[in-house]
Structure 1
């Protein structure tokens, strides 16, 4: 029965501290007894307790730290105190040592075991010495001490838990570092890269070369158990809605074998599970014109196994990248809020003090202008912190998240917000949703900063793998905007990253319209942004 902590250095440090504390605690017991009674009457149980302490010290030299060793010291010490009770009452503090050792060696179970042994040991010693149980008043006093013994053991258990958490975290960080280092090296050598959509489209292309299909899609499962399409081929008339409840899909996913079923005039519905080891990480759904034999389906499913491994690797890489990006945004928000924003606020207080003290009209005018600018900058920084902390909720969709953002910005800027959100249960890929959200947020922020508008219109239409976002206002339009196009360039870069189309133009009736579209059916009437510049309608 060994110590629970996984760090030998930590364990040795704890047990060395106990070895040093043991003679000190024994000396305290001797001093208390000597000041309260006659040593001649009490020498026998003091000597016995000293022998127990000596035996425990020898055991530390010969045996490894363990819960059993602490339990043995507690049993012997409590029996000696029970034999000498009530004269040995002042020796009760010694029991704190084996109690602490029990919690340190065995956690909460060790603390409880030490307390139980202390209670039975003192009761047994008292029965052997007086052939009777303790009276009521003595039992009450011992019960209070047993509570202290348990608390001491619990403190030892808590220290053990803290050390275990620390050691476990260190081990996990070291393992994560090794894995990320290997991933960095391997990803640079991969021919297909780590883009999930590209790999998914490659699997669909591979399936299309092996059998005649009218349309197909590759589905993966996201948080909440909902299947969403990573890539599609062919027409789209809502045929994937409710795919997670399709018996054919469930059969193939659960049993990890291909499945098919007649699909009326459309031919046959074929489902190929994407397997990695003993797990299903996705499925290819295809509508085939002709029936395919079971042998051909099994062979086709086996031929997609390598692609499934690549796809899952890319999905894991995307998840790690998403977590890292979210953590970095939170870190930047904290640094802005706790750093430059606080410093600028302090400068504002100095300007206020200057305004209160100055008697010069020119100085007061300059200080007032400076104070106004500092207030504006601090306000913008707080908006930036809000933007950095705004993120997609796992439970909410893109439309709901962007609508909530628009409402908050509208309330801050005193804008009347008009929202249209057409979004079903199907979700886009997380990285696509994140980029579209940032584009929409930047467009809404530009309205607050530059438009001088009274109304804000936000429309979100999501039908995976397609989506459209439109942000419009009734402000001054692009012609009166500042020449700094950094924010617009970032929006265009985000759109290119996910293969979307970005259009920014002045509305005929006044104001600005920002539109971003993803998917072929939304490209009509839009011009793809190029070189970081907005397109315009012809």
Structure 2
């Protein structure tokens, strides 16, 4: 099945009905006054009678067909052109009143094959008409031949062919746009950034836009997500500082508008789309960051607002930047906004379900394993008191068991606190806030010094990246305290130029059983190093470098902005 549906059966039925009416009308005209119109009345009448029978047969076959047509449209089209050329010869040549047959052929070709059919049929009709005209003027030297009439008919055919070509092109483009609007790609949280990029690319193809920028934010969250489409691909924009002043001026916050030229915006008025009119507005409508992304040329901007998010679509470089383009851009923006809104709603539902499941698990662990550890610890303490100092070796082993139980209890309490939602844990969900809460907990539990050196981020990290980074830091710090016996751990956090995150955890402990520098691939091949860290970093598409020595270890982790940005 073709990706663009063409109603061929209905088209052939309309053409067949028109052919029958044209043939019947021609028979009537010839019979009404044959001498005034034609020189070969008998031959022309016989030809028209045969064509009328042919048109009835084709109409019968077409109207009885329910599926595939037995007669291809190209065959009947060639028969029509051949008959029209012969009939033109027998009816006064270039002065024939049946010149309108060629117009009928042009219309049929446009209905069947859109603008391409109109162009090729016009060429065939002009060739046939020129041949008949040359024969009558030069070979027969017909005294009734009028060059002015012939030129006007050629001009008339060219104009009709041009108009029909435009109509066919417009119909084909409209059908393609309707097909694109009806086949939007699915979007869900599971597809991640790739799903949003696919959405932007489909919108650009629908709008035939070489450049496109989609920006949105969730609710009252100041963080802005910006995706840019250019040269057939889309990618996230790392820095959104150019949009600090907003996506549009306050007076245009809910307006659809057209900027004739982004580079010379101040010289020409911005056109606001209100109802079915375009009204001028003077001022700067585009943010500075957008002009850098889209460059010169016309820009269409359409806002959208949902319950969970709002944003604006910017379309640049579109060849048809007019009222029709504004209407199509509004439809595309509404569809994109609905897809994004549905994906965010599904993500929110999943987050609520996951939070409830974490809380249930935390309660079960607290009431189960944690209470069991507490009970076991009390029983071990009671046994130690009963033994006293009668058996120093047993007493030392019991003391070691108590320390192990206490350490496991501390680790389990860390897990339980991390399972709580940010509102219950007493902090917000930003990475810096989580780490600031982690520092005193670790220092109190393990009697070590944890130094946090975080370069303040200009923009908040995505929630998924912040949560993943927190778990990596916590795991590395606890490993240094538990296994490395570290007394001091230095943690550094910085945002990279491409938007990713750089983590460095350095301790003064015993290091790992092996010494040297090892990257993620080497550690995986050796099956050595912190397994949990390796798996988390690899799943995220990041890099890990471990430097171990007798004076401690340093773990450097680089995390991309999104998992899809893993280098190949």
Instruction: Report the TM-score when normalising by structure 2.
Output: 0.49
Partner Cα distance (1:270, 1:411) in 2: 58
Partner Cα distance (1:375, 1:422) in 2: 35
| Residues 37-436 of structure 1: pairs in structure 2 closer than 5 A | 192-194=187-189, 195-209=191-205, 210-211=207-208, 213=210, 217-229=213-225, 231-233=227-229, 240-241=240-241, 243=243, 245-246=245-246, 248=248, 253-255=253-255, 257-260=256-259, 262-263=262-263, 266-267=295-296, 270=299, 272-273=301-302, 275=304, 281-285=310-314, 288=317, 292-358=321-387, 360-361=390-391, 362-389=393-420, 391=422, 397-413=430-446, 414-424=448-458, 426-436=459-469
1:462-485 deviation digits (Å, cap 9, x = unpaired): 479822131321333343699998
State the 1:228 CA deviation: 1.5
1:133-189 deviation digits (Å, cap 9, x = unpaired): xxxxxxxxxxxxxxxxxxxxxxxxxxxxxxxxxxxxxxxxxxxxxxxxxxxxxxxxx
The alpha-carbon distance between structure 1 residues 311 and 289, as it changes in their structure 2 partners (threshold 3 A), is closer
1:459 aligned onto 2:492 = yes
The alpha-carbon distance between structure 1 residues 239 and 471, as it changes in their structure 2 partners (threshold 3 A), is closer
Partner Cα distance (1:277, 1:236) in 2: 21
Number of equivalenced pairs: 333
Indicate the structure (1 or 2) with the bigger Cα radius of gyration: 2
Residues 541 and 560, structure 2, Cα contact 8 Å, conserved in 1? yes
Partner of 2:470: 437
The alpha-carbon distance between structure 1 residues 340 and 305, as it changes in their structure 2 partners (threshold 3 A), is same
Residues 298 and 316, structure 2, Cα contact 8 Å, conserved in 1? yes
The alpha-carbon distance between structure 1 residues 396 and 304, as it changes in their structure 2 partners (threshold 3 A), is same
State the 1:296 CA deviation: 1.7
State the 1:322 CA deviation: 1.9
State the 1:319 CA deviation: 1.3
Partner Cα distance (2:494, 2:453) in 1: 11
Partner Cα distance (1:487, 1:272) in 2: 52
Partner Cα distance (2:417, 2:314) in 1: 41
Partner Cα distance (1:515, 1:357) in 2: 50
Partner Cα distance (2:431, 2:351) in 1: 16
Listed as ranges, the gaps of 5+ residues in structure 1 are 1-189, 529-538
Give SS of 1:245's match: coil
The alpha-carbon distance between structure 1 residues 478 and 412, as it changes in their structure 2 partners (threshold 3 A), is same
State the 1:263 CA deviation: 4.3
The alpha-carbon distance between structure 1 residues 384 and 355, as it changes in their structure 2 partners (threshold 3 A), is same
Which of the pair is proportionally richer in helix? 1
Query: Could you tell me which of 508, 518, 521 is aligned with 2:560?
Result: 518
State the 1:488 CA deviation: 4.9
Residues 252 and 272, structure 1, Cα contact 8 Å, conserved in 2? no
The alpha-carbon distance between structure 1 residues 396 and 390, as it changes in their structure 2 partners (threshold 3 A), is closer
Residues 204 and 284, structure 1, Cα contact 8 Å, conserved in 2? no
Give SS of 2:503's match: strand
Residues 501 and 516, structure 1, Cα contact 8 Å, conserved in 2? yes
The alpha-carbon distance between structure 1 residues 200 and 346, as it changes in their structure 2 partners (threshold 3 A), is same
The alpha-carbon distance between structure 1 residues 335 and 241, as it changes in their structure 2 partners (threshold 3 A), is same
Partner Cα distance (1:333, 1:449) in 2: 23
The alpha-carbon distance between structure 1 residues 427 and 366, as it changes in their structure 2 partners (threshold 3 A), is closer
Partner Cα distance (1:269, 1:496) in 2: 43
State the 1:231 CA deviation: 3.7
Residues 187 and 343, structure 2, Cα contact 8 Å, conserved in 1? no
Partner Cα distance (1:496, 1:286) in 2: 37
Query: Could you tell me which of 496, 510, 521 is aligned with 1:476?
Result: 510
Listed as ranges, the gaps of 5+ residues in structure 2 are 1-184, 265-291, 516-522
Partner Cα distance (1:242, 1:274) in 2: 18
The alpha-carbon distance between structure 1 residues 404 and 462, as it changes in their structure 2 partners (threshold 3 A), is farther
More displaced stretch, 364-373 vs 460-469: 460-469
Partner Cα distance (1:318, 1:465) in 2: 26
1:13-54 deviation digits (Å, cap 9, x = unpaired): xxxxxxxxxxxxxxxxxxxxxxxxxxxxxxxxxxxxxxxxxx
Residues 271 and 283, structure 1, Cα contact 8 Å, conserved in 2? no
RMSD: 4.4
Partner of 1:503: 544
Give SS of 2:224's match: strand
Give SS of 2:469's match: helix
Partner of 2:119: none
The alpha-carbon distance between structure 1 residues 444 and 276, as it changes in their structure 2 partners (threshold 3 A), is same
| Residues 21-40 of structure 1: pairs in structure 2 closer than 5 A | none
